Amino acid sequence: KQREALYAKENFTDEDGLKASELEETFAELNGWNAESDAASLLSGLGIKEGKHYTLMSELDGKEKVRVMLAQALYGNPHNLLLDEPTNDLDLETVIWLEEYLSNFEHTVLIVSHDRHFLDSVCTHTVDIDYGKINLFAGNYSFWYESSQLALRQQQNQKAKAEEKRKELEEFIRRFSANVAKSKQTTSRKKMLEKLNIEEIRPSSRKYPGIIFTPDREPGNQILEVSGLSKTTEDGAVLFNNVNFNVEKNDKIVFLSRNPRAMTALFEIINGNMKPDSG
């Protein structure tokens, strides 16, 4: 604003020229000439269509507002970036874009996320908060998980060996405590038992949610059959056409779509809350 005000003055003095020069230098350092194109690139990458780049925030839906705020956080190449569940409400294509962007990001990023694949793709270090302690691992989520599980197994093995050793010492002391010929050995075993330290493995402070369904009867092999399913919106947009698939017992299926409305409609139809056009 100062820069624009200076250039708008009718009587532009030498002092104004020096001030304008300083502002131009600062503007260039902040990459001001590319500000609009950089903002547009971030918005497009995060799934905000170009036609909405100048839309008021009050006119955007909730998910779009979150994407705009994420673009705002990324804008300006900040030195420190804190992201709390950044993949929430993002489709797969946008998550992949964000992974690539953050992987090439030059500065520090702190991420809290439940998305293990996202963490594996982006993170170079992992902070583990458990047992009342904070530990830093050099590596992504998978490296941390494997390392922590290995450390836990080693602790369990060491404890098992120590407990076995304690039983051996206690058994020896019990058997030969009254034997004069074994008194020195018994005394030695007692000292070893006193020095034996068995560390308790503290239970994890993490709470893992569990979802348990109790069916009225055991299901058969055929769970769901979808045949010739089609759905078009009231404004004429085709969500899907002639969809066919079977779901059998123990199948594990992921549904992917570029259009979240299509995904919502599919599951609403399957649940009996929406009527299909056909199928």
Per-residue pLDDT of the chain (279 residues; tens, 9 = 90+): 566 666 667 677 777 677 777 777 776 666 666 677 788 888 888 888 888 888 888 888 888 898 989 998 998 888 999 999 999 888 888 999 999 999 999 899 999 999 999 999 999 999 988 877 888 888 999 998 888 888 888 888 888 888 888 888 888 888 887 777 777 887 888 888 888 777 776 766 667 677 788 878 887 888 889 999 999 988 888 999 999 999 998 899 888 887 878 988 999 999 999 999 998
188 lies in a domain?
no
262 lies in a domain?
yes
CB 81 within 8 A of CB 73: yes
208 lies in a domain?
no
Q: Are strands 80-84 and 133-138 parallel, antiparallel or unpaired?
A: unpaired
Q: Which helix (H) or strand (E) holds 171?
A: helix 141-176
77 lies in a domain?
no
Phi, psi of 139 (to 5 degrees): 150, 170
One-letter amino acid identity for 273? N
Tokens representing 71? Answer: 């673009």
**What domain range is 246 assigned to?**
222-270
Burial of 191 (C-beta count, 10 Å sphere; 0-12/13-18/19+): exposed
Q: How many structural domains are present in the chain?
A: 1
Q: How far is CA 155 from the centre of its chain?
A: 28
One-letter amino acid identity for 231? K
DSSP conformational letter for 52: G
Confidence at residue 246, expressed as pLDDT on a 0 to 100 scale: 92
231 lies in a domain?
yes
Confidence at residue 229, expressed as pLDDT on a 0 to 100 scale: 92
191 lies in a domain?
no
Confidence at residue 163, expressed as pLDDT on a 0 to 100 scale: 86
232 lies in a domain?
yes
62 lies in a domain?
no
Confidence at residue 8, expressed as pLDDT on a 0 to 100 scale: 60
